[in-house]
Structures are given as C-alpha cells and as structure tokens.
Amino acid sequence: MSKSYFDETHCAIGHPKSTFMQWMLTIDHKRIGLMYAAVMFTFFFVAVATAFVMRLELFAPGAQFIDGDTFNQAFTLHGVIMIFLFIIPGVPAVLGNIVMPLMIGAKDVSFPRLNWFTFWLYILGALVALASLFTDAGFADTGWTFYAPYSLNTGTNVIFTLVAAFILGMASILTGLNFLVTIHRLRAPGMTFWKMPLFVWGIYATAWIQLLATPVVGITLILAIMEKYFGIGIFDPAKGGDPVLFEHLFWIYSHPAVYLMILPAFGIMSEIIPTFSRRTIFGYRSIALSSASIAGVGYLVWGHHLYTSGMADTAKVIFSFLTFFVAIPTGVKFYDWVATMYKGKIILSTPMLWALGTIITFTIGGLTGVTIAMIGVDIHLQDTYYTVAHFHYAMLGGVVFLFFAGLHYWFPLVTGKMYNEKQAKIAFYLQFVGFNLLWFPMFIAGYYGMPRRYFDYLPEFQIYHQFSFFGAVIFITGLTYMFVVFFKGWTKGKPSGTNPWNATTLEWHMPSSPPPLENHSKVPYVDFEPYEYHHGEPVVKFDYETMKRID
C-alpha cells in the first residue's frame, strides 16, 4: 500500500514527529485545503445558527426573545462570517488549493510556504473578528457593509471587525498571488491556456480579482479606522467628510468580490456537467472567455449598489448600462452547460443533482439581479427583502450549492472513500426544497415593501416570514444530514478507486487514492483537451507509474 498525503507531509519548519504538529506546519496544498475546509465549515455553521436565531425572532411581529440591538449584532455577525470568513475565501481556499495543482499536473502551488502563512493569517483574521464577541462593548452592529457614519458613531467594537477584514483581505491577496503564479508557471508541459480545465480558468479569473480589487477595500478600511480614531475628516460629515464616498470605495471592492465568489463555483459546474454527461463540453472557449469578461466588466458596475444613495442620475444610467453586460456572459455559460447535456448520457449522481439544482436556483438568482439592475425598479426594491432574496439565491443557491456539488464530486479524490449515494441525494432534496421555501417568499415580501435589516415588521408580512421559517428548518435539517453523510462516508465508506466518476481531467489520474504527497508520479505531457470522451469513455489513459499515455 503506497503512502498518501495523510501519511506523510512536508513542513514549513523542521520535521516534527507528532501528527498534530505535522498538520499545523504542513505546506502540502491538499492538507492546507482540508484545514481551510474544517475551519470554514465550523464558521459556516455558526453563521447558519445566527441566521436561524434571526428567523426565530422574526417568526412573529414584535420582540420575541432578543432585543433590537442583539438582532443588529446578529445580522452583522452572520454577514461578516459568511462573507469574509466563508464565501470569499471558500471555493479557492478549499477546492482551489486541493484540486487546482492536481488539475494542472503540478507538485504543489508555486509558494507552498506562503500558502501555509496565508492559512495562518486567515486564522488570525478570524480570531480578531470573533474576539469582539467577548468584549464589553460587544460585536459590531453595523452590518457587514460598515457604512459610515454609522460605523464611526456606534459604541460597539467595530475596530475589531475592521482590522479583521483587513487581515482577511491580505490573506485573500496572497492566495490570489500564489494561484496566479502557479497557473502561469506550473502547468504541465503542453498544457496551454486553452487546454486548462475550466475550474482552473475560474480560479485564474478570481485570482486576478483577489489581487487587484482587494487592496481597495484594505485602503478603505484603513481610512475608516483613521477616521474613527484620528478624525481625519474623510467619511464623517461632522468632520467635513462624505459618507457616500465610503459607499463607493466599499463597493469598488465588494462588487467584484461577488464575481470572485461565483467564478470558481461556475468552474465546478463546468467540471461536473461534462463528466456526468459523458461527453465533451459545449463551447469551451466561450465559457473560459466569459469568466474573464465577467471578471473584467465586474470592476465597472459597483455603482448599481448606489441607485438610491444620492448619486448623480447620469452616473446611475452608465452603471446600469454596464451592469446588463455582466448578465450576458453569465447567460451564455448557462446555455453552454445545458447544450453540453444534449445527446450526452446523463448520470444523475449526487454532484450532478447539485449542479442541475443550481441551474434552477442560480437562474432565479441571476434574473432577479437583472430586475434590480433596472434603475427605476431598483429604486423601489433597493434595501428590501427582494434584494436579500436575490443575493441569497445567487450566493447560497449559486456559490454554496456549487461548493457542495464540488465537495461531493471531489470527496473520493480527497478521502479515497465514497459516501452513501442514496443518503446524499436525500440531503440534496431536503436542502433544495428548504432553500426555495426559505427564500422565495422574500421576493414577494420585498416587492410589497418589507425592508431588510428589520428587527420587527408590519403584521401583513408575517405569512412570508413564517414560510421562510419552515423553509429554514427543512434546509438546516438537510444541511446537517449532508455533513453526517460525509462523516459516515469518510469513516466507513467503501474505497472509491482513483477515478470513480470516469472523469477526464488530470486530478483523476493519480497513482493511488487518496493521492500521494507529491501528486502525480511524473509530470505528464498534456497534448489533449480537458474533456475528451469517445462513446462515453475517457479518451486519454495513463500508465500511472510513468505518466505516459497508453491509449
């Protein structure tokens, strides 16, 4: 039995004997990805629990069991964890780390020690963010957007959250830098950009956003800290500053950040659809280029968050016009994926179910985003539950669903085991039904004028909140069950073999399962397309000792 990356590792410092220290100091990209996953999903569950507390509180009008201030801290905690600790680093840090180097035939990322440092920077950021929960003044109550001058005036501990977001931004920049260099320098010989798997394209487009957009939020957070403690007079109107400037600077980063979240997730979709259709992907280049153009145009549309913020009407028109051009490459991707299923052989395994479910939920999330790109309509819907429902359909029903799809897809690669398919499907259906019941009523409530971030509401909105509550119960049940299925799969699952899905990309051509420490035995030569099938079977076959083609 050959050794896997669970048995041996390289460390940042020295050669520790204890297993624990080997994990703490590991520079192996697969182990780092797993540690990110462990930490991130812990936070994810904290944020889900916080959201559930809010849903309970909102079950009926009036105060139930928490007060307005606690509620405000709860939605801030939920937003900060979900955005900064989970969904921004999410897919790149977990699946990008584990899978991307394997997909391009590399031994590791370009800078493994930097990768290790980045992980611990992330942990530091997380600790700083949560530390304020245990201070007197309490966790920030600003919302994850930290709008000035509220964030400058409030008595809660905003400084911790601002510093944490800054540190986490730094970690994000370093991840992006590491991945960019890796993709440019460590692709296997012969693998041109047009032969990269589409997940690598997604990671690549995202890495540029991480590198170029994140510094803007870093600068903004520093300015906010300087304003709060030294009164430099840039955002606070009482000191001659302009709060709308903060909104602009904040969204110059935070809007591209939503593409940073979704692009690697779309990459997962592009891996799963051809594999479970047993055929090559339709429109490879248009999918790859649409990722790049979404990343590009995404920089120029931040103003659509400010249609009601006192921005000039001309600026609104320009931002609205540009926003519609993000919708088009996104739409093209969806047509390409559906066309990939045409005359394929559709195998409805769990990863494929998640991918197809996401086609439904993200289509709703995307098209409702088009609604609020229309200026006149957004003036009514801005800051209502419609917007809340839209971004949860796009983020949870898009990014997180595809993240889950990826977890199911690469689970056998990471663990060498297979989960119980039947149980995993039950978990999917529970979450899919719960999700729609949870979020769809909010579109209606928002259209009728239910504002977001409301601790209490007018009685006629009660019915929507109650549907949402029952949706949340079903969703969380499915979510918990999914992780139970994963846990059982890892501890008691059957060995999966190296390529259980009959997939084509390089991460499935490992000498053993789970993969050994330094991945492929030899660096392969890539003279083939990423998704070559013939009559439903992968075309390219390797001898896993020599990594020479034997087909």
List binders of other proteins among 29-48 (CB under 8 A).
none
Length of the chain: 551
Span of 43-51, 163-171, 302-310, 392-400 interacting with other proteins by CB under 8 A:
302-310
Region of 374 on the Ramachandran plot (φ > 0 left; ψ -120 to 50 alpha; else beta): beta
Contact call for residue 320 and other proteins (CB under 8 A): yes
Among residues 120 and 147, whose Cβ is nearest to other proteins? 147
Q: Select 17 or 535, whichever has its Cβ closest to other proteins.
A: 535
Of these, 3, 185, 380, 492, which contacts other proteins (CB under 8 A)? 380
Question: Using the rule CB under 8 A, is 153 a contact of other proteins?
Answer: yes
> How far is the C-alpha of 173 from the C-alpha of 122, rounded, in Å?
11
Which residue from 38, 127, 222, 379 is in contact with other proteins, where contact means CB under 8 A? 379
Q: Taking the mean position of all CA atoms in its chain, how far away is CA 147?
A: 23
Residue with tokens 């840039």: 234
Decide if residue 373 touches other proteins (CB under 8 A): yes
- Measure Cα distances from 539 to 99, 284, 403, 525 in Å: 21, 17, 28, 15
**Whole-number minimum distance, CB 517 to other proteins, in Å?**
36
Instruction: Give the count of beta carbons closer than 10 Å to the beta carbon of residue 13.
Output: 11
List the one residue from 38, 346, 463, 484 that touches other proteins (CB under 8 A): 346
Residue 448: C-alpha distances to residues 234, 385, 386, 460 (Å): 37, 9, 9, 10
**Contact positions with other proteins (CB under 8 A) in 238-257:** 238, 242-244
Q: Nearest approach, Cβ of 429 to other proteins (angstroms)?
A: 15
Supply the minimum distance, in Å, between the C-beta of residue 241 and other proteins: 8
Rank residues 229 and 321 by Cβ distance to other proteins and give the closer one.
321
Core vs surface per residue 180-194: b (16+ CB within 10 A) or e: bebbeebbbeebeee
Amino acid 387 reads: T
Which member of 331, 426, 481, 483 binds other proteins (CB under 8 A)?
A: 331
Site for other proteins in 47-106 (CB under 8 A): 68-69, 72
What's the rounded Cα separation, in Å, for the pair 32 and 24? 9
- Minimum distance from CB of 441 to other proteins (Å)? 16
Of 16, 143, 218, 511, which lies in the binding site for other proteins, with binding defined by CB under 8 A?
143
Q: Give how far the C-alpha of residue 211 lies from the chain's centroid of Cα atoms, to the nearest Å.
A: 16
Residues 502-541 close enough to bind other proteins by CB under 8 A: 533-537
The three-point CA angle 138-144-149 to 5° equals 80
Q: Does 432 bind other proteins (CB under 8 A)?
A: no
Assess 334 for contact with other proteins (CB under 8 A). yes
In angstroms, the CA 534 to CA 540 distance is: 10
Q: Applying CB under 8 A, what is the total number of residues that bind other proteins? A: 94
Instruction: Using alpha carbons, select from 471, 475, 464 the residue that is nearest to residue 441.
Output: 464
The only residue of 124, 377, 433, 517 in contact with other proteins, by rule CB under 8 A: 377
C-alpha–C-alpha distance, residues 326 and 497, integer Å = 40
Taking the complex as a whole, the smallest distance from the CB of residue 90 to other proteins amounts, in Å, to: 25
Stretch binding other proteins (CB under 8 A), from 159-167, 203-211, 402-410, 455-463: 455-463
The CB-based long-range contact list for 11-20 (8 Å cut-off, 24+ gap) reads 12/113, 12/116, 12/117
Candidates 99, 104, 279, 262; CA nearest to 196 is: 104
Of 462-501, binders to other proteins (CB under 8 A) are none
Shortest distance in whole angstroms from residue 155 CB to other proteins: 3
DSSP string across 221-273: HHHHHHHHHH--SSS-GGGT--HHHHHHHHHHHHHHHHHHHHHHHHHHHHHHH
Residues 46, 177, 292, 339: which binds other proteins (CB under 8 A)?
Answer: 339
Stretch that binds other proteins, among 88-96, 235-243, 259-267, 402-410 (CB under 8 A): 235-243
Footprint of other proteins on residues 270-289 (CB under 8 A)?
A: 277-284, 286
Shortest Å, Cβ 238 to other proteins: 5
For residues 151 and 247, the answer to whether their CB atoms sit within 8 Å is no
Q: Which of residues 352-371 bind other proteins (CB under 8 A)?
A: 356, 359-360, 363-364, 367-368, 370-371
Determine if 192 is a binding residue for other proteins (CB under 8 A).
no
Work out whether 164 is an interface residue with other proteins (CB under 8 A): no
Q: Interface with other proteins includes 157 (CB under 8 A)? A: no
Buried b (16+ CB within 10 A) or exposed e, 31-47: bbbbbbbebbbebbbbb
CB nearer to other proteins: pick between 108 and 141: 141
237 makes contact with other proteins (CB under 8 A):
yes
Q: What residue type is assigned to position 385 of the chain?
A: Y
By CB under 8 A, residue 375 contacts other proteins? yes
